[in-house]
Amino acid sequence: MASEKKAKKTKALKKEKAAGKKARNLKEALEGKLSKKEMDELITSFDSLGNIAVIQVPKGLVKKAKVIGEALLSLNKQFETVCMISGEHKGLFRVQPVKVVAGKRNKKAFYRESGCSFFVELGKAFFSSRLGTERARIASLIKKGEVVGCFFAGVGPFPIVFAKNSGMKKAYAIELNPDAFKSMVENIALNKVQEKVEPILGDVHKVVPKMLLGKCDRIVMPLPKGGESFLEEAMLALKKEGGTIHFYRFVERGLEGKEAVEEVKRAAEKAGINVKFLRKKRVRSFSAKVEQFVLDFFAKQGLGKRLK
């Protein structure tokens, strides 16, 4: 019975195509262009960065990347270019390489979010549009007059969204990657938030002791991988009265971020600071075995032993 229904659906789709009706999704757009086995492997989700779409293509479908990219362009006239992720995050700056597979040969995306505009050089700086909800969430939590430390600021999405959507007094935006830093300076000017966002080119390990000890009400740590080694600096950058830290971490699926919780506890003990966990939540799926979590916690010297 199920196979009959599937056959009828396939037949109906073919009729729609013959009648010139537009496909409603990527699978429909690729009907007849990919085999059944290839359709089963297809990843239909993608990142939308304004004029550029970024897709993941399984190894078995790499030869069909152009076909997939062209199908996506036909579905959404917003996109001028489709890029394929062509490798893992690598190097000191955790940059993920991409390759143009369809449309204009351009890797500079123009992206809008929360009333802000950004230029992003794909393949030169880390950026995730999927963290847009998180940026808006934190902006809604920032109280008037707060000073925010934005570690691993990239092209500036967190501090710029905060500057335009909260009563924040100032953000210190630290970034080590020169290419990302250059784009962040450009984006700060583009959004006219020079008075609120101070870009700093450098290593968080070195910048915090020199410039930020005891200055911040809130710290944001959106590093894709390895942020745990900067937790002590985040805690020491907070004011004496304490503050909130938003710590992002890729974790093994199904463990509910337990490893990240333990990392925060160890860093707090080492720094002589106690913490109180406020929120622990899955942010997004990264792969079949990995997902991204965020831990919000309050840190302050002398808060009391409430490491839960």
76 in the same domain as 185:
no
Per-residue confidence band for 304, with pLDDT thresholds at 50, 70 and 90: very low
Short-list 41, 55, 40, 33, CA closest to 103: 55
* Top-confidence residue, 150 or 94: 150
pLDDT for 42 = 92
Residue 82 lies in a domain: yes
Residue 46 lies in a domain: yes
Rounded-to-integer distance, Cα 199 and Cα 213, Å: 17
Over residues 130-145, the mean pLDDT reads 96
Q: Which amino acid is at 237?
A: A
Residue 7 lies in a domain: no
Q: Are 164 and 136 in contact (CB under 8 A)?
A: no
Over residues 79-97, the mean pLDDT reads 82
Rounded-to-integer distance, Cα 76 and Cα 44, Å: 14
Beta bridge partners of 10: none
Residue 119 lies in a domain: no
Rounded-to-integer distance, Cα 74 and Cα 38, Å: 20
Residue 291 lies in a domain: yes
* Top-confidence residue, 81 or 293: 81
Q: Tell me whether strands 98-103 and 81-85 are parallel, antiparallel or unpaired.
A: antiparallel
User: Strands of 243-252's sheet, edge to edge?
Assistant: 197-201, 170-175, 147-150, 218-221, 243-252, 290-300, 274-285
174 in the same domain as 291:
yes
**Which residue among 72, 106, 140 closes a domain?**
106
Q: Reduced to 3 states, what is the DSSP secondary structure of residue 120?
A: strand
Digit-coded pLDDT (tens) for 207-219: 999 999 999 999 9
**∠ CA 95-228-146, rounded to 5°:** 90
Average pLDDT, whole number, for the chain? 88
Per-residue confidence band for 164, with pLDDT thresholds at 50, 70 and 90: very high
243 in the same domain as 160:
yes
Residue 162 lies in a domain: yes
* Top-confidence residue, 139 or 130: 139
Helices (H) and strands (E) in the chain, counts: 10, 13
Rounded-to-integer distance, Cα 37 and Cα 27, Å: 13
Q: Which amino acid is at 257?
A: G
Rounded-to-integer distance, Cα 171 and Cα 147, Å: 6
pLDDT for 205 = 96
pLDDT for 5 = 58
203 in the same domain as 286:
yes
Res. 33: pLDDT tops 70 = yes
97 in the same domain as 231:
no
**Which residue among 45, 75, 106 closes a domain?**
106
Q: Tell me whether strands 290-300 and 243-252 are parallel, antiparallel or unpaired.
A: antiparallel
Instruction: Express the helix, strand and coil content of the chain in percent, nearest 5 each.
Output: 35, 30, 35
139 in the same domain as 102:
no
147 in the same domain as 61:
no
Residue 308 lies in a domain: no
296 in the same domain as 147:
yes
261 in the same domain as 153:
yes
What crossing angle do the helices spanning 132-141 and 157-165 adopt, rounded to 10°? Answer: 40
Q: Reduced to 3 states, what is the DSSP secondary structure of residue 208?
A: helix
Q: Which of 108-117, 125-134, 235-244, 254-263 has the lowest mean pLDDT?
A: 254-263
pLDDT for 308 = 36
Residue 14 lies in a domain: no
pLDDT for 81 = 97
Res. 143: pLDDT tops 70 = yes
- Residue 67: CATH number of its domain: 3.30.300.110
> What value does the CA radius of gyration of the chain take, rounded to a whole number of Å?
22
Digit-coded pLDDT (tens) for 261-283: 899 999 999 888 989 999 988 87
pLDDT for 305 = 43
- Residue 256: CATH number of its domain: 3.40.50.150
Q: How many domains does the chain have?
A: 2
175 in the same domain as 53:
no
**∠ CA 101-103-108, rounded to 5°:** 85
Print the domain residue range for 155. 128-300
132 in the same domain as 101:
no
Q: Are 178 and 201 in contact (CB under 8 A)?
A: yes
pLDDT for 220 = 98
160 in the same domain as 252:
yes
What pTM, to 2 d.p., does this model score? Answer: 0.84
